[in-house]
């Protein structure tokens, strides 16, 4: 299997994860499309240096989250976008209204957090253990724990204030 | 919504997304190619265009330095040329630094620290650039008046009224301008500082 084939397989297997990350870090559909493409591009760039010493998912989360936090905001949107609006943005069209509403609330709560907190809660929701979160984020497992309990507290306060 | 409920909703969306895989190989390759091309459109083109204009103006000043004749006009000419050369170089260097972070080698925390530091630096530079650009307006006036119009702004103009209006108006504008720049960049720089403080104090 060529490098290109392997890469496209990894992306296809994880497209849902990329979609969720882009949803958490952007507000506008256009920004989401830009970020989605940027993440795929950065993953492609980093794929050559991926030595397989970490899990593919750990590597992918690291690159994707790093791309999301460093993306230059307010850039002029130039150039063509590959038609991924059909691919990613309408993935929620089959959901029922109640679920869609819950989803909106969930994303709204996450978006109120800081960039670092967004990444942490996203990894918690993805079911990652503290050790893996520590590998991705570079924080110590104890620090991950402390920060996550602080985020939980923050989320509770947000919910009470609503 | 409690965290447990959030987790349920999250795993539900994960399941749904897994069922709806729609990306094709062609689309993925196209995305990478398109993004590579766009990189240059987004940052480099406007910056390079601005740099060419600034360097062009600096060259024009150097080529006509003899025309400036008096010591003060030569001083304004050289000062303008220095600003025109230094500003774009600093800006390009700063942008290059921001986009040069290794996404794979660095952890999320390290990337956030590096990016925030570079961003803070960039914002501070932007702030200085605004002040220097404003200063440039005054510096370049006598230079262009001499090079393009052949008139010494300080001795060759008989009617002083335009200057008497221009200088106080310029100072008033500068006061408001300074406040605006401080407001615009001060907030961003403070935010960057608090992120760094939070990240670096929790080892």
Give the tokens for residue A17: 């994860």
Residues of A in contact with B34 (CB under 8 A): 37, 79-82
Average pLDDT, chain B: 80
DSSP string across B125-162: HHHHHHHHHHHHHHHHHHHHHHHHH---TTTT----HH
**pLDDT single digits (tens) B185-202:** 777 777 777 777 777 765
Domains of chain A by residue range: 1-91, 94-162
- Indicate yes or no: CB of B202 within 8 angstroms of CB of A63: no
What is the fold, at CATH topology level, of the domain defined by A94-162? Arc Repressor Mutant, subunit A (1.10.10)
Q: Which CATH architecture has domain A1-91?
A: Orthogonal Bundle (1.10)
CA nearest to A128 within chain B? B7
Which range, A3-12, A101-110, A127-136, B162-171, is most confident?
Answer: A127-136
Query: A34-83: per-residue pLDDT in tens?
Result: 888 888 888 888 888 777 777 888 889 989 999 998 875 544 344 445 44
Q: Which residues 82-121 of A are in CB contact (within 8 Å) with B?
A: 82-84, 86-88, 91-92, 94-95, 99, 102-103, 105-106, 109, 114-116, 119
* Residue range B69-91: mean pLDDT, rounded: 91
Contact between B203 and A70 using a beta-carbon 8 Å cutoff: no
**Among A63, A127, A139, beta carbon nearest to B103:** A63
Percentage of chain A exceeding pLDDT 70: 82
Range A111-123 average pLDDT: 90
Alpha-helix runs per DSSP H in B68-107: 71-99
How many contacts does A have with B, using Cβ atoms within 8 A? Answer: 163
Q: What are the extents of the domains in chain B?
A: 31-201
Nearest CA in chain A to B104: A63
**Long-range pairs of B176-183 with CB within 8 A, sequence gap ≥ 24:** B177/B130, B177/B134, B178/B131, B181/B127, B181/B130, B181/B131, B182/B127
């Amino acid at each position: 299997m060529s490098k290109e084939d392997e890469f496209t397989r990894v992306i296809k297997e994880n497209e849902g994860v990329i979609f969720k990350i882009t949803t958490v870090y952007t507000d506008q559909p256009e920004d989401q499309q830009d970020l989605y493409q940027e993440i795929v591009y950065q993953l492609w760039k980093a794929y050559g240096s991926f030595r397989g010493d970490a899990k593919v998912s750990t590597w992918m989360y690291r690159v994707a989250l790093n791309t999301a936090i460093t993306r230059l905001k307010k850039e002029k949107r130039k150039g063509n976008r590959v038609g991924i609006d059909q691919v990613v943005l309408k993935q929620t069209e089959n959901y029922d209204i109640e679920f869609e509403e819950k989803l909106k609330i969930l994303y709204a709560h996450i978006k109120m957090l800081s960039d670092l907190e967004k990444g942490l809660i996203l990894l918690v929701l993805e079911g990652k253990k503290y050790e893996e979160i520590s590998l991705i984020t570079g924080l110590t497992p104890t620090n991950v724990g402390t920060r996550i309990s602080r985020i939980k507290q923050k989320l509770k306060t947000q919910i009470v204030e609503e | 919504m409690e965290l447990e409920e959030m987790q349920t909703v999250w795993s539900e969306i994960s399941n749904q997304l897994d069922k709806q895989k729609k990306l094709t190989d062609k689309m993925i390759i196209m995305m990478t190619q398109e993004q590579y091309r766009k990189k240059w459109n987004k940052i480099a083109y406007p910056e390079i265009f601005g740099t060419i204009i600034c360097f062009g103006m600096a060259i024009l000043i150097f080529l006509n330095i003899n025309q400036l004749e008096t010591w003060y006009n030569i001083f304004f000419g050289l000062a303008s040329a220095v600003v025109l050369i230094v500003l774009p170089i600093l800006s390009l260097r700063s942008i290059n630094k921001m986009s040069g972070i290794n996404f794979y080698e660095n952890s999320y925390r390290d990337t956030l620290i590096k990016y925030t530091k570079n961003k803070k630096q960039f914002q501070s530079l932007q702030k200085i650039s605004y002040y220097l650009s404003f200063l440039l307006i005054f510096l370049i006036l006598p230079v262009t008046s001499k090079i393009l119009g052949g008139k010494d702004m300080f001795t060759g103009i008989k009617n002083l009224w335009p200057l008497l209006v221009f200088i106080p108006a310029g100072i008033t504008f500068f006061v408001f301008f300074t406040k605006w720049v401080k407001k615009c960049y001060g907030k961003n720089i403070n935010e960057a500082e608090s992120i760094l403080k939070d990240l670096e104090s929790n080892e």
